[in-house]
Structures are given as structure tokens and as C-alpha cells.
């Protein structure tokens, strides 16, 4: 078995020591710090990006909050304005309605008064006509001249039976 | 045993250039060459892929980062915050064993992790380092590591020697595990490769198919053994901090 032949033991150990020491020192001083720097740089970059992303998110949330606040405020304002307008309109309408009602009532009562007046006038006219016709008729038939007062009295007494 | 087509011939060490210093033979061999290739692959890959240091990594850079994070995670899981100081060492160990195993998977390429002297040297560095670390952290109290609390007192004469032996056998188990896995895998591949040649007609395709499957398994084992080597190192470091 060549492994147990001590002829090259010293040579093996010597070159192992040389190469392994070189490898160890080289990796320790050159290669590993390089990789470590890269990894650190990347981690820093990731951390930086994460923190800036967080910041931006916070800012976005703040802006969103502001927007929501403004929307809410605007809604409240518009609601109030709509209410005010509706109230104003209602007041207007009711006042106009009442004034119209008054006008109408006045016109109706005026008309009623006029009607009554004209009715009275007509009644008077009718009375006069009745008196005249009665006077004439009685005069023609009987030659009795009746005075207006007497006739009026008779008519007044008869009126009750007409009505 | 060292016949020309022995499955163990692949583990023989051939000097590329003979060097002798102070009576010691430190020839540059095929094993040393494999180590050189391994170290070059690791250093060049980890340096060139991360050269641009881009925040959005290329695929190759991502591989380097994944390896870095893999071992960093392993250390922080097993040792915790104390483990960061040993990261370069554990990472070097993991990469050296991993790429050493992988380089060995290239046909005709020597596998230096299949030599017990190499794996034992690596395990001994871990063992000695961890022991020194234990004494630095706990001083003489480190010996309480062998004392298991909550056990009846008459059991201690039995348990303490067992604990000491198991502690002392750590470098052996650590090194033999890697060495034996590599040895067995490569021997098996070679044995089946021999079947491909020696079987009559086209029946050689069956062992060939087996070799293909075994190669996949060996690549898995190459990674697994490097991982086991690294995680056991982490556990030993953890023991040096937290005794029991």
C-alpha cells in the first residue's frame, strides 16, 4: 500500500504545509474579505432600500389620510350646503304659498261681497218692478191708485211665502 | 501488491523533481502537484469571480458567495458568535479538502486526500489547535472535559479513561474517515475499470455503466467528506468553548 511507504512522508508534509499555509493566508487576507465586502454592501443596499420603502409607505399613508380627511370635510360641507339650500327653498315656497293663499282669499271675499251687493241691487230692482207692475195692473183693472208705501208693505208680507 | 495494474497503483507517489534539503527528501511529487492545482483552483476561482464585487452577482460570483455563506452558517450554527474568528481556517480546510477530492475525480489525476499522512496532518492541526484553544479558554479546568457530570461516582474510573481515549482518537477518526473513503472509492473505480478491459466482447459496457454511476456517487462522497471534516472541526472548536 503506497500510503504506508514512509519514503515521501516528509515531502508530503512539507508541500502540504506550504500549500495549505499559502491557501489559508491568501483566503484569510484576500478572498474572504472581498466576499465579505460584497455581502455587506448588498446587505446595506437591501437595508437602505427597505428603510426608504418604509419611509415612502409612511408618506403615502399620510397623504392618503390627508386626502380622506379632505374628502370627508368636503362631503360634510356639501351636505350642509344642500341642507341650507333645501331649507331656504322650502321657506321661500311656503311664504309664497301663504301669500298666494292670502291673495286668493281676498279675491274670493271681494267677489263674494260684489255678488251679494249685486244680488241686493237686483232684489231692489225686482221689488221696484213688482211695485210698478202691481200698481199698473191694479190701476188698469180696478182704477184704484195704490201708494208705493202700501204696496211695499203688502209685498214685504208676501215675500215670506215666496222665499 | 505493487503489480503493474494493481488498483492501488494509482496511489503511488512519483517525484516530478527531486529536492533534498538537510538530508530530508522534499521532492515535488504528483501529490504536491495535485495540491498546487487545488490551491490554484481555489484561489483563482474565489478571486476572479468576486473581482467585480457587483451587488447583483454573476453566476460564478454567486457560487463563491454560496460557499462563503455555507461555511459561515455552519460555524454560526455549531459554535455561535465565537466561531467567526475561525472562519478563515475552517473555510480553507473545507475548500482544500473539497477541491482536493474533486481534483482527484479527474481521470489520471492524483488524489492527495487518499494519503493518510496528508489527512492525518490536517486532523492533527485541528486537534492540536483545538486543545490549545481549550487550555487558553479554560486553563487547567479544561481537564473537566473528561468528567461527565450527573453520573454515579463509581462510574468515573471507567468513564474518564473512555473520555480521554475518545478525545485522543479524534485526529485518528477524523483523518482515517477521509482517507478511507477516498481510498475505497478510487480503488473501487479502478477495479471496475479493470473489468471493462478484461470482460469479453461488449459486456464491458456493464461495468462501464457502473463506473459512471459510481463516479456520481464519488463526487457526492467528495463533497460529503469535506463537509464532515468541516463540521467536525466546528464541533471540536465548540467543545473547546463549552466543555459539557
Per-residue model confidence (pLDDT) at position B54: 84
Of B28, B89, B121, the CB nearest to A13: B121
Which range in A2-11, B48-57, B147-156, B227-236 is most confidently predicted, on average pLDDT?
Answer: B227-236
- Yes or no: say if B108 and B119 are a contact pair by the CB < 8 Å rule: no
Of B39, B46, B179, the CB nearest to A22: B39
> Residue A146 has what DSSP assignment?
P
Per-residue model confidence (pLDDT) at position A157: 80
- Residue B33: how many other CB atoms lie within 10 Å: 17
Secondary structure class of A115 (helix, strand, coil) = helix
Question: How many whole angstroms separate alpha carbon A105 and alpha carbon A99?
Answer: 10
Q: How far is CA A21 from CA B125, B133, B174, B176, in A?
A: 12, 19, 20, 22
Confidence grade of residue B2 (pLDDT, cut at 50, 70, 90)? very low
Interface with B, mutate which of A3, A4, A40 (most B CBs under 10 A): A3
The predicted model gives B102-113 an average pLDDT of 92
Of A11, A20, A31, the CB nearest to B96: A20
Q: Which residues pair with B21 in a beta bridge?
A: B24
Residues of chain A with pLDDT under 70: 159-163
Condensed to tens digits (0 to 9), the pLDDT of residues B14-59 reads 888 888 888 888 999 999 999 999 999 999 999 999 888 888 888 9
Closest chain B C-alpha to A39 CA, distance in angstroms: 8
CB–CB of B24 and A10 under 8 A? yes
Q: Which residues pair with B29 in a beta bridge?
A: B15
What the block records as the C-alpha cell of B46 is 474565489
B173-176 — which CB contacts under 8 Å span 24+ positions? B174/B119, B174/B123, B174/B126, B174/B127, B174/B229, B174/B232, B175/B116, B175/B119, B175/B120, B175/B122, B175/B123, B175/B124, B176/B116, B176/B119
Per-residue model confidence (pLDDT) at position B1: 39
A8 interface with B at CB cutoff 8 Å: yes
Extended beta strands in B72-213, E state: none
Q: What is the pTM of this model?
A: 0.75
Instruction: Please list, in sequence order, all residues whose beta carbon lies within 8 angstroms of the beta carbon of residue B168, skipping any fewer than 6 positions away.
Output: none
The predicted model gives B2-8 an average pLDDT of 67
A89 interface with B at CB cutoff 8 Å: no
Residue B196, Cβ density class (10 Å: 0-12 exposed, 13-18 middle, ≥19 buried) = middle
Per-residue model confidence (pLDDT) at position A163: 53
Domain ranges of chain A: 9-162
Per-residue model confidence (pLDDT) at position B172: 95
CA neighbor of B124 nearest in space, from B174, B161, B163, B79: B174
Within A27-147, residue ranges assigned H as helices are 32-142
Instruction: Please list, in sequence order, all residues whose beta carbon lies within 8 angstroms of the beta carbon of residue B10, skipping any fewer than 6 positions away.
Output: B110, B111, B186, B190
Confidence grade of residue B71 (pLDDT, cut at 50, 70, 90)? very high
Confidence grade of residue B8 (pLDDT, cut at 50, 70, 90)? confident
CA angle A159, A160, A163 (to 5 degrees): 85
Of A2, A14, A17, the CB nearest to B13: A2
Sign of the torsion angle spanned by Cα atoms A40, A44, A50, A53: negative
- Yes or no: say if B221 and B166 are a contact pair by the CB < 8 Å rule: no
Q: Which residues of A6-19 are buried (b: 16+ CB within 10 A; e: fewer)?
A: eebbbbbbbbbeeb
Q: How far is CA B208 from CA A88, B11, B183, B200, in A?
A: 103, 21, 20, 13
Condensed to tens digits (0 to 9), the pLDDT of residues B172-188 reads 999 999 999 999 999 99
CB–CB of B92 and A3 under 8 A? no
> Residue A27 has what DSSP assignment?
I
Confidence grade of residue B202 (pLDDT, cut at 50, 70, 90)? confident
Residue B171 is inside which H or E element, if any? helix B170-198
Give the ipTM. 0.91
CB–CB of B29 and A7 under 8 A? no
Secondary structure class of B240 (helix, strand, coil) = helix
| B contacts of A39 (beta carbons < 8 Å) | 65, 68-69
Amino acid at each position: 500500500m503506497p500510503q504506508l511507504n514512509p519514503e515521501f512522508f516528509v515531502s508530503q508534509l512539507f508541500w502540504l504545509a506550504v500549500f495549505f499555509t499559502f491557501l489559508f493566508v491568501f483566503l484569510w487576507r484576500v478572498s474572504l474579505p472581498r466576499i465579505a465586502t460584497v455581502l455587506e454592501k448588498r446587505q446595506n443596499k437591501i437595508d437602505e432600500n427597505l428603510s426608504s420603502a418604509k419611509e415612502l409607505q409612511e408618506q403615502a399613508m399620510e397623504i392618503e389620510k390627508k386626502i380622506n380627511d379632505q374628502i370627508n370635510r368636503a362631503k360634510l360641507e356639501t351636505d350642509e350646503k344642500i341642507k341650507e339650500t333645501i331649507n331656504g327653498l322650502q321657506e321661500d315656497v311656503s311664504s309664497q304659498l301663504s301669500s298666494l293663499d292670502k291673495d286668493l282669499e281676498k279675491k274670493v271675499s271681494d267677489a263674494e261681497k260684489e255678488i251679494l251687493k249685486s244680488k241686493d241691487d237686483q232684489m231692489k230692482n225686482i221689488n221696484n218692478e213688482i211695485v210698478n207692475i202691481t200698481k199698473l195692473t191694479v190701476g188698469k183693472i180696478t182704477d184704484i191708485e195704490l201708494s208705493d208705501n202700501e204696496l211695499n208693505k203688502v209685498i214685504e208680507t208676501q215675500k215670506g211665502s215666496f222665499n | 501488491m505493487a503489480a503493474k495494474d494493481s488498483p492501488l497503483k494509482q496511489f503511488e507517489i512519483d517525484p516530478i523533481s527531486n529536492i533534498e534539503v538537510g538530508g530530508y527528501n522534499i521532492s515535488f511529487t504528483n501529490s504536491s502537484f495535485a495540491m498546487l492545482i487545488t490551491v490554484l483552483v481555489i484561489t483563482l476561482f474565489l478571486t476572479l469571480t468576486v473581482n467585480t464585487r457587483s451587488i447583483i452577482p454573476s453566476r460564478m460570483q454567486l457560487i463563491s458567495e454560496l460557499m462563503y455563506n455555507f461555511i459561515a452558517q455552519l460555524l454560526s450554527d455549531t459554535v455561535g458568535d465565537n466561531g467567526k474568528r475561525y472562519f478563515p481556517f475552517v473555510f480553507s480546510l473545507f475548500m482544500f479538502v473539497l477541491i482536493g477530492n474533486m481534483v482527484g475525480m479527474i481521470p489520471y489525476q492524483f488524489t492527495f486526500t487518499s494519503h493518510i499522512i496528508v489527512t492525518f496532518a490536517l486532523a492533527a492541526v485541528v486537534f492540536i489547535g483545538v486543545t490549545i484553544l481549550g487550555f487558553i479558554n479554560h486553563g487547567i479546568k479544561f481537564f473537566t472535559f473528561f468528567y461527565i457530570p450527573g453520573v454515579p461516582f463509581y462510574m468515573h474510573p471507567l468513564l474518564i479513561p473512555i473520555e480521554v481515549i475518545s478525545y485522543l482518537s479524534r485526529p485518528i477518526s477524523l483523518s482515517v474517515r477521509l482517507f478511507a473513503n477516498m481510498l475505497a472509492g478510487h480503488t473501487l473505480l479502478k477495479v471496475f475499470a479493470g473489468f471493462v478491459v478484461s470482460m469479453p466482447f461488449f459486456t464491458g459496457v456493464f461495468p462501464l455503466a457502473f463506473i459512471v454511476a459510481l463516479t456520481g456517487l464519488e463526487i457526492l462522497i467528495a463533497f460529503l467528506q469535506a463537509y464532515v471534516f468541516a463540521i467536525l472541526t466546528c464541533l471540536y472548536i465548540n467543545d473547546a468553548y463549552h466543555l459539557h
